[in-house]
Amino acid sequence: MNKLVRELLPFGSLLLVIAVLSLWQPESFLTADNFLNVLRRSSVYGIMAVGMTFVIISGGIDLSVGSLLALCGMCAAGVMVGLGGPTPSPEVRALGTAAGLLTGAVGGFVSGALVAKLNIQPFIATLGTMSLYRGIALVMHDGQPINVPTYRYLGEGACFGVPVSVLLFLAVIAAAAAVLKFTRFGRYTYAIGSNVEAAHHAGVRIDRNLIAIYTLGGLLTGLGAVIAMSRTVSAQPTAGVGAELDVIAAVVIGGASLSGGRGTVTGTIVGALLISFLRNGCTLLGISTNAQLIVIGVVIVMAVAIDQFTRRTAGDAL
């Protein structure tokens, strides 16, 4: 019973928020445009949160994703402008996109290698790479943004009326959920997070899998970065400051445990949407962005507190 409550709680809260906002502001909130807008806005952090889900289930954390978001954008835009000038050709834009994704994967790989090979605690290792990546992103172009006015497709393009970024978001969700549930890699991710020593005893190659997990997280951050860059048609070296906290919050609200072994992609998505809808609702209700922080903070603490409470009572029953 408690298990069911626990699993449905984030989803229930999301429905509740949507229901309240629908009743309160039916004409501005309850429209297809607004919903697509919310999805589009959540796509970047949502995609990053999917990657973070793997990292957190494995018992780790990646604080560097916000910095990596900026670095990937700068690298992608740098390649586009460097090879193709201010109006790069579609081929050069594709190459730049690939560079952004690659940067993400490499960034994640480095964090993963620090954690797995040098045995640095994930919090400390990624605290280091967080600063490192931000520094590189700032130094690259003297702290100036790089504009690519023609790079619009990922941010503004649409397919059958659905924004490309939303389609990518949905594809990532589906693929990640499948990987986590139906592959050996997904299973090992849970095992490592639940009990790393037992996983090692059972023949799981811990370091390889951890590096793969962080690399995947980095790759998805790269994807988020090119979408974010395309939306503003420029790469900002200061993009994504503090993004790691929103991303981690989404994963945790979705029911993942920071001590590892627990979490789902669907939970994370519900967590990310909950934050987005709260933001959206606050904006529609005229609550300032500063005051929104208070609302988000209260929601995070409540979500985790209720989760802990239901876990404890479930444990007592046995």
Partner 1 sequence: MDSPAAALEMRGISKSFGPVKAIQDVSLCVRQGAIHALVGENGAGKSTLMKILAGVYQPDAGVIVRHGKSCVWKHPAESLAAGVAVIYQELSLAPDLTVAENIWLGIEPRGILPGTYSRQRMLEATRSLARQHGFNLDPNEKVEHLPPSTRQIVEVLKALARRAEILVMDEPTSSCGEAEVSALLEMVKRLRSAGATILYISHRLEEVLAIAEDLTVLRDGRVVYSGPLTGLGIPDVVKYMVGRDLADYFPKRAVRRGSVALRVSGLSSRAVHDVSFELHWGEIVGVAGLVGAGRTTLARLLCGLEPAMQGSVTIGGKNVNMRTPADALSCGIMYVTEDRKRSGLCLDLPAAWNMTLPCLPELGMKYFLRLGKENSLAQETAKALSLKWAGPTTPAWALSGGNQQKLLLGRALIAHSRLLILDEPTRGIDIAAKKDIYELIGRMAAEGKAALIMSSDLPELFGISDRILVMRRGRLVADLVTADTTQEAVMRLAAVDEVRT
Q: Which residues bind partner 1 (CB under 8 A)?
A: 181-187, 190-191, 194-195, 197-205, 261-262, 318
Distance CA 241, CA 212 (A): 25
Least separation, in Å, of the C-beta of 314 and partner 1?
A: 10
Q: Which helix (H) or strand (E) holds 17?
A: helix 2-24
Contact 23, 265 (CB under 8 A): no
Least separation, in Å, of the C-beta of 131 and partner 1?
A: 29
Least separation, in Å, of the C-beta of 238 and partner 1?
A: 39
Is the CB of 3 or the CB of 20 nearer to partner 1? 3
Least separation, in Å, of the C-beta of 209 and partner 1?
A: 12
Contact 80, 92 (CB under 8 A): yes
Least separation, in Å, of the C-beta of 57 and partner 1?
A: 11
317 to 3, 56, 136, 311, 313: CA distances (angstroms)? 12, 27, 52, 10, 6
Least separation, in Å, of the C-beta of 91 and partner 1?
A: 33
Distance CA 147, CA 25 (A): 37
Q: Which of 259, 250, 227, 266 is nearest to 299 (CA)?
A: 250
Burial class (CB in 10 A: 0-12, 13-18, 19+), 255: buried
Distance CA 318, CA 307 (A): 18
Q: What six digits make up the tokens of 252?
A: 């945790």
Is the CB of 158 or the CB of 179 nearer to partner 1? 179
Is the CB of 181 or the CB of 312 nearer to partner 1? 181
Is the CB of 196 or the CB of 284 nearer to partner 1? 196
Least separation, in Å, of the C-beta of 197 and partner 1?
A: 4
Phi, psi of 88 (to 5 degrees): -65, 150
CA dihedral of residues 118, 49, 274, 299 (deg, nearest 10) = 10
Is the CB of 199 or the CB of 239 nearer to partner 1? 199
Tracing tokens 């793969």 back to the chain, one arrives at 212
52 to 85, 146, 159, 200, 257: CA distances (angstroms)? 34, 27, 27, 22, 12
Least separation, in Å, of the C-beta of 3 and partner 1?
A: 10
Contact 272, 264 (CB under 8 A): no
Is the CB of 199 or the CB of 274 nearer to partner 1? 199
Is the CB of 102 or the CB of 204 nearer to partner 1? 204
Is the CB of 132 or the CB of 216 nearer to partner 1? 216
